[in-house]
Amino acid sequence: MNDLAKNLVVWLVLAAVLLSVFNSFSPPPTDNSLGYSDFVVDVQNERVSSVIIEGLIIEGERRDGTKFRTVLPTIGDQGLMDDLLNHNVKIVAREPEAPSLISQLLVAAFPILLILGIFMFFMRQMQGGGGGKGGPMSFGKSKAKLLTGDQINTTFADVAGVDEAKEDVGELVEFLSDPSKFQRLGGRIPKGVLMVGPPGTGKTLLAKAIAGEAQVPFFSISGSDFVEMFVGVGASRVRDMFEQAKRQAPCIIFIDEIDAVGRHRGGGYGGGNDEREQTLNQLLVEMDGFEGTEGVIVIAATNRPDVLDKALLRPGRFDRQVYVGLPDIRGREQILRVHSRKVPLEDSVELNVLARGTPGFSGADLANLVNEAALFAARGDRRMVSMAEFEKARDKIMMGAERRSMVMSDKEKINTAYHEAGHAIIGRLVPEHDPVHKVTIIPRGRALGVTQYLPEEDRYSMSKRQIFGQLCSLFGGRIAEELVGGFEGVTTGAQNDIERATQMARNMVTKWGLTERMGPVLYGEDESQAPGGGNTHYSEDTSREIDEEVRIILDSAYVKSKALLEEHRDVLESMKDALIEYETIDAEQVDDLMKRIPVRPPRHWDDDDKGGISNNETEISTDPPDAIGTVVEGA
């Protein structure tokens, strides 16, 4: 029951009590009341047989047996008794009933009680409706949300793709369930666990799963909830939160985005933020002020561990750091299975293929992928989700929604088709390149066309041969335009191609040591300098040599890519025609074109199409209006 409902119930009960009190002092209603003048007339006409007088109330009975009731005027009637006696009316007098002591006290105290009730009501509202949250008097109260053990349904079965992280925190569950197992051997469970990892990898979900497995209370709060405009409020909230946690022990305190309050002290303008630093100091004291045997474990999450204060990370506070990284191919398949448990899937859906085609996706990205696929199926009035919906969902997440309403001239379509065909052909011909999966000239987001590659497995490092192949494929779109329209016909669509290729070649020279001339030496910039400064660590002669080496690498890739396209000029024309006809061609159609055989009709994803990622996109340029765009290689 929320605070509004509780207040409503309190006021309804108070109204009922007041109504009953007022009713106790009001005379009971009657249907046989009689005016006093009519009563006198009845007496004088001898129609009244008896009366009962009680104070000012006169109740009587007529000679025909009917009852009546009347009220004696406050001014009195001196001749009433003579009239009653003269007309043979039987008179019975009763002593007026005195009000009880309780009634008198209620009447006397009612105004005071009413004032106290109004005062208490406003005090409760100022304190946040009785819940201690949200009111001006609750500044120092903790804003942590408490979930009891029976309210948490999340378990380790709901967390996938982070097996190593689950192993690291698994002993926390054992400690919360059976502390004596560790204390018997003198072991001490970590007081704090810091979960580090990119956004969307499941840090909050994992913390909640620990509480769900151990069936213990779970306090959840964000780091920004501690900091207010008034100095000392955050420290008071930290104290209140730990006091509540100790009363609920064993329990878990989860602080999300702890970098909002745990940054390095003294690092802000003017010596730092006093409120934030006092809050951090109080947090440090509280984490050092209770023993591990109390069963209070603090779990914090951040994707910025580099900005945290060193005192926060020392042993005795956050003793353990658990890295929750992006899932690998098996982890992505497990996550897809978790999120698709409540989604009806067709037999054509292969989650392992989807996992292979989504490298770099976090758990949140994969959950969004499943949800978008279900929405696509619902829009199409389908009863089950097929591979087609997953393909559409992935393309939408990566590249944006299709822009079929966008009007492109025939010249732009042909130029885009040549551009994308150049990327696809070079991607198929250079060694150790990801296989081409799909080529399309359907605009998506800012992209006029897209070439997708399907990685065969997750890649954690790249060889010089693979990098050189990527350089060649990046130049494929520009070279295709040059072969068709000459150097004067090249558009600005290759702007991002050139940027990416240049940066990749410069990294080969200055960071990765992949050139014999410059050797395995780091020629980096001083990142500690102010943004835009870029203070280098090498001489002008070295800088000139680096530029020359970068130019040599790029020229080699350009020449290699141009030679391959000139050799396969007929394939370039055939692929351009296929793209103009079908707008989208898949890997099998690309195979037909590379083999120089007639292109088979496009097949539907509902059959057995496979997923892919790693794109070359032809994006809309914001430069000259006739620009096709830039090539962007996907995640």
Calculate the alpha carbon distances from 380 to 62, 373, 383, 393, 445 in Å.
87, 11, 9, 13, 22
Residue 90: partners with Cβ closer than 8 Å, 6 or more residues away: 49, 50, 51
Q: Which two tokens mark 3?
A: 């605070």
Written as six digits, the tokens of 321 are: 């750091």
Please check whether residue 450 is in contact with residue 614, taking contact to mean a CB–CB distance below 8 angstroms: no
Q: With beta carbons less than 8 A apart as the criterion, state whether 491 and 415 touch.
A: yes
Structure tokens at 209: 């799963």
Q: Which two tokens stand for residue 10?
A: 């309190």
Phi, psi angle pair for 550, to nearest 5°? -65, -40
Catalytic: which of 213, 420, 481, 549?
A: 420
Contact 237, 225 (CB under 8 A): yes
Element (H, E) at 54: strand 48-54
Beta strands in 413-560 (DSSP E): 436-440, 447-453, 525-526, 535-536
Residue 60 near residue 68 (C-beta atoms within 8 A): yes
In angstroms, rounded to a whole number, what is the distance separating the alpha carbons of residues 273 and 250? Answer: 33
Residue 405, H or E segment: none
- Is 59 known to be catalytic? no
Which tokens belong to 312?
């926060």
Whether 281 and 235 have beta carbons less than 8 Å apart is answered as yes
Task: Tell me which residue of 363, 364, 374 sits closest to 333, measured CA to CA.
Answer: 363
Catalytic residues: 420
